[in-house]
Structure 1
Amino acid sequence: MASITLNNLVKEFGAVRVLHEINLDIEDGEFVVFVGPSGCGKSTTLRMVAGLETVSGGEIRIGDREVSGLAPKDRGISMVFQDYALYPHMTVRKNLGFGLKVAKTPSAEIAQKVDEAAKMLGLEDLLDRKPKQLSGGQRQRVAMGRAIVRSPEAYLFDEPLSNLDAKLRTQMRSEIKRLHKKVGNTIIYVTHDQIEAMTMADRIVVMRGGHIEQVGTPSELFNEPENVFVATFIGSPPMAMVEGQVHLVDGTPQFQATDGTRIPIPQHLQSKVQDGQKVLFGIRSDAFSPVGHGLPRPGKVFTLTQKVEHVEPLGAETLISVQIGSSKVLSKMFNPTNVEVDQSMEFELELDACYLFDAETEVSLGLD
């Protein structure tokens, strides 16, 4: 096992810089997930750690070694790809042991490691099958097993669940977390799916445009987003951003949306704003619900009447869309009753669970 350190890491393709001085310390045994939209640089970063992309600037350290100039085979890592990359003419047993065979590992040791990996991943009954005889989830477990048998210092996963259906993705998330708990090695995992990131990671690295936007635990990113991008990327449904500005009413700041709707500014944020300041008011659906149909509200609640724009039944809960200013805001209703489009309803908003961001910089006004 080993820590991984990225120091001022830069990647350029010709005159185009796609990674901008990435700095990150990953602790020994930590499960870190890189997440972000397509083109943000997360897979490029992973491939640079793996040695599949050259480094344009900065350094990569695995443990106490600087590895930026080393070949992939000399870095002490194993990588699991999105497309499994299994040899179709080989059995599962031979696929699992192929890398060790190439490395001229003794046959007895190969057999032992293959059997251990197969038992760990529930592949014992599949060792004599070929990839075409396996399901998608089984193929992915074989790809993971091929990485395990090498006993690397770190595992790298590049969107390994993208080709699986929703049910299998849920199952494989559990499998990978179980694997990490059992082997304890450092893992870097790349995905565009924030649900995967939230459910699997010790820490999440949110990227955009070749920059790191924020690093933190799933709870920190959900509850303490540093900017609008992180706030709207992490969480499902995403946080709504209502445009408006601050107005003083009898000396107390209030938020006024573009349609005139006024909402008290949470007390812990009142000292962070100025009269006339343009802001974005962040509302999560969990903090906004029809009166009598929400979660218990421990904090101060503000009630407002809104017309229903859209209704989305989800079984145990219903999402209701309303318009505040120029923004669509989702409300989560529990113990749902019949709700009609264009119906006027009273909603309660838990103020202490809301957020404020500067409209120009998009930085959270709740940062210390």
Structure 2
Amino acid sequence: MESAAVPAPSRVPASLRGILPVLIALPVLLLAEWALSDSPFAVYLLSVMGVNVILAVSLNIVNGMTGQFSIGHAGFMAVGAYLAGVTSLALKDVAISFLPVAVSDQVFLIVALLVAGLSAALAGFLVGLPSLRLRGDYLAIVTLGFGEIIRVAVTNTEAFGRALGLSGIPQTSSVAMVWFWVFLVVLVSRRIAGSSHGRSLWAIREDEVAAEAMGVNTTGYKVRAFVVSSFFAGVAGGLFAHFVPIINPGSFTFVKSMEVVVMVVLGGLGSTTGAIVSAMVLTLLPEGLRSAFSALAPEGNLAQQVDQIRMPVYGMLLVVLMLARPQGLFGTRELWEVVPRWLTRRRKGM
């Protein structure tokens, strides 16, 4: 009787499996940074896209995996942006003597981003602990109220520049730094989705009453998901503060929160790759429409009128897409699950 085949052991040491994705990502990101060094607009656009991806993937942990409805993500982004900005301004004239200036700046940027993320996570815990006992529309109202409280607070705080905003923050962010955090949030999201913690979140999403009856601490799991989501929203805000000339309360309104919600819903609630693709598309689409309409009317008053038409066209495209695909681009599946199905159906139809 033949013995069953034994799978070959992995050649990657167990100690390296956890950090192997990071070791692969770092040289790729540094190469991309070098290739884009002569294109400021591309750097800015990719940085905005990266921040939107971080926001969408982090919100997907709460809205998609856990099945809750938070619409105050811009509030956590604002907490991170302002506290990271204040931290960087405090460290602006400090230098680490034994390191080159560029490396020293990146060390202080990482410190500011960690301050931003931890502060937003603390805010997420303080908001989430009482409010996540609520469900549905009530939770949405609480998170909306939190976002507005933060916006009004920074508008009336002298240390944050009031309505004029906070300026003079060192512009030390880069495409490599932004997309390294994109890589981290995607890695954390996928690890959560495949863990026992993630299975508890999926159970809460499908039927919270049944999950609680089976012994799942629904409030505890929801709070933890909310804290992780808030941490990365704060980091996204910190990154945003370090590549824009000035941050002001107008950047963190309810409209910004709804933009992130649209990205999550459009990609498919629960799909990490769906959130990534939709964030990229919805970041590039307005710029593509701007370029198209600018080509139609390059100068004069007609150019201003065409630019005003751009956003309604953007909204109409979103409405059409949601009517044609109400479950989102990928539904609850990931890209590597959807593409083979699509290719199989196409071959059968030929």
TM-score by length of 1: 0.24
Higher gyration radius (CA) = 1
Name the one with the larger strand percent: 1
